[in-house]
Amino acid sequence: MPRIAYDLTDRAAFVTGAASGIGRACALLLAAAGATVHCADRDEKGLTETRDLITAADGTSHTHVLDVTDSDRVRAAVAASGDLDILVAVAGVMHTSSVLDTSDEDLDRVLAVNFKGVLHACREAARGMIARGAPGSLVTMASGAVDAAAPGLLCYSAAKAAVVQLTRTLATELGPHGIRVNAVAPGWIRTPMTARHDAEQQHRTEAAMARLSPLGRVGEPEDVAHTVLHLVSDASAFMTGQILRPNGGVAMPW
C-alpha cells in the first residue's frame, strides 16, 4: 500500500508565528497529521496555549520563544530542533499608513519581520537539510496584497512581494538538494492580526470582504493551514516555486 500523502508521521516541522492565528492553525494541523512540531513565536503565553492544544490532541510539540528578526536566535532554535523536514514561516506584522506618512522606522520594522524573518528561518532550515543530505519542504507566507495595490499597505505589500521573490529564488537554488519551496498568499483571513478594529467595524470589514468572494465568506486560519499541509506533504512532491492562493475565489483581493 502506498503511504497516505498527508501522513507526516516521523517528520519534524518548525513553525514561526505559532502563538496564534494562521501559525497556530498550521502547528495544530501538522501535529494532527503526525509531525513533531517546533512552535516558535515571541509570545510565550500564546506558545504555551498552542502547545497545550497539541498535547490535548495527543500530538507532540516543543516551544521556542524568539523574535524572528534576531538571526542568532533563529539559528539557535533551528539547531536545537534537530533534523527538520518542514519549515513554515508564518510570523508577520501588519502596518497601515499612506506612502507619504510612512516613516523609515515603520518600513524597517515591517521588512525586518515580514521579509528578513522569513529569510532567517528558511536559510537556517535549508542549511540543516543540506548538511545532512535530506529532502525537505519550506513554505513561506505571502499575501493577496501582492496581487493588487492597496492604499495604506505599502510596507506590508512590499515585504510580502519580497517574500514571493525569495520563494522563487530559493526554489531554484534548493531544488537540486531535493528541497521544495512554495508560498501561500491568503485572501482576507479572520485572525488576531486582521481584527484590529472594534467589533462593529470588524463586522463591516468582514462583510465587505465576504461580498468579494463567490463563496460568500472570509477565510479562517484552518483554510490556510490545509493549503500548507498540502504543500509540505507528499501530495505536492512535484511542486516547487509556486504561489497558492486560498482566497475564496477573489481575483483581486482589494
Q: How many CB atoms lie within 10 A of CB 44?
A: 11
Q: What is the CA radius of gyration of the chain?
A: 17
Q: Please give the single-letter amino acid code of residue 34.
A: G
The residues pairing with 36 across neighbouring beta strands, listed in sequence order, are 12, 60
Look up 156 and say whether it is catalytic.
yes
Measured between alpha carbons, how far is 149 from 241 in angstroms, rounded to an integer? 23
Q: Nearest to residue 113, comparing CAs of 68, 76, 173, 144?
A: 68
Torsion on CA atoms 94, 254, 232, 30, rounded to nearest 10: 60
> In sequence order, which residues have a C-beta less than 8 Å from that of residue 91 and are 6 or more positions away?
16, 17, 23, 40, 41, 68, 113, 117, 118, 121
For residue 64, CA distances in Å to 68, 85, 129 come to 11, 17, 19
> In sequence order, which residues have a C-beta less than 8 Å from that of residue 31 and are 6 or more positions away?
37, 54, 57, 59, 60, 61
Of 14, 115, 156, 188, the active-site residue reads 156
Measured between alpha carbons, how far is 56 from 22 in angstroms, rounded to an integer? 19
Cα angle, residue 28 at apex, residues 27 and 29 outer, rounded to 5°: 95
Q: Enumerate the active-site residues.
A: 156
